[in-house]
């Protein structure tokens, strides 16, 4: 399932990110691409080991840890520290699928990529082209969100970033290993959690139906979660 997660970063945070990024050099984006992906990848990235990458990654992770919609949709077990890319004139990333296993930066630990994430750092009107196109069972979905918003989608999806025809597209990208491996199971838990949150507001935490549904949620988590 594809989720739009609004306001991961505030407009003030986005401006801070952009100001700091303007002070450093970018490298060829192929450095983090697999063999097949590298053939269709034309963009730039902040170096993975640059201090600014570490700093900005931490700010995004801190925000995600307090974002209820992200936590409900992703049910995260672990997150690859965010990276940052930039697309300018004619740059694109053709259709590809993300690597199933990725190393966590600065360690020998590896993570299964269940969910792919893009936080937009450019406003839609700042560039032409540059849509994230995600293929799923229901066809192709074009995504171009306000700066500070995030798209969350299954890493099993074939996807692309279309060619930039004018302007500049800047974003953060990273991957999540969820406690719930199966996308359909994860989506059912998300819908159940959202219903529980709504009923808590309407009926209160001690209402019998709220308690019953909360019990069902946690029992399904016990059944499906991988830790």
Give the model's pLDDT for residue 34: 65
pLDDT greater than 90 at residue 53: yes
What is the CATH classification number for the domain harbouring 154?
2.60.120.620
Same domain flag for 112 and 157: yes
Instruction: Work out the burial of residue 39: count CB atoms within 10 Å of its CB; fewer than 13 is exposed, 13-18 middle, 19 or more buried.
Output: exposed
- pTM higher than the cut 0.85: yes
Same domain flag for 34 and 18: yes
Same domain flag for 103 and 50: yes
Q: How far is CA 42 from CA 36, 156, 174, 184, in A?
A: 13, 21, 18, 33
Same domain flag for 130 and 58: yes
- Where residue 136 falls among pLDDT bands split at 50, 70, 90? confident
pLDDT tens-digit readout, 86-133:
999 999 999 999 999 999 888 889 999 999 999 999 999 999 999 999
pLDDT tens-digit readout, 7-47:
999 999 999 999 999 999 999 988 776 677 778 999 999 99
Number of domains comprising the chain:
2
Domain that holds residue 33: 3-178
pLDDT greater than 90 at residue 216: yes
pLDDT greater than 70 at residue 174: yes
């Amino acid at each position: 399932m594809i989720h739009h997660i609004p306001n991961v970063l505030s407009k003030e945070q986005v401006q801070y990110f952009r100001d700091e990024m303007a002070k450093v050099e970018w490298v060829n984006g192929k450095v983090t691409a697999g063999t097949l992906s590298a053939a269709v990848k034309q963009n730039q990235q902040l170096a993975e080991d640059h201090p600014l990458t570490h700093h900005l990654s931490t700010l995004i992770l801190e925000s995600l840890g307090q974002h209820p919609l992200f936590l409900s949709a992703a049910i995260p077990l672990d997150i690859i520290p965010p990276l940052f890319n930039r697309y300018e004139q004619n740059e694109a990333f053709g259709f590809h699928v993300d690597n199933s296993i990725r190393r966590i930066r600065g360690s020998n630990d590896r993570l299964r990529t269940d969910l792919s994430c893009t936080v937009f750092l450019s406003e839609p009107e700042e560039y032409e082209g540059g849509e994230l196109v995600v293929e799923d069972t229901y066809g192709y979905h074009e995504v171009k969100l306000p700066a500070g918003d995030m798209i969350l989608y299954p890493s099993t999806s074939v996807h692309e970033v279309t060619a930039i025809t004018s302007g500049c597209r800047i974003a953060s990208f990273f991957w999540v290993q969820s406690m719930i491996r199966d996308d359909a199971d994860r989506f059912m838990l998300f819908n159940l959690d959202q219903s529980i949150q709504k009923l808590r507001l309407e009926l209160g935490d001690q209402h019998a139906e709220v308690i019953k549904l909360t019990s069902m949620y946690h029992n399904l988590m016990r059944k499906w979660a991988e830790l």
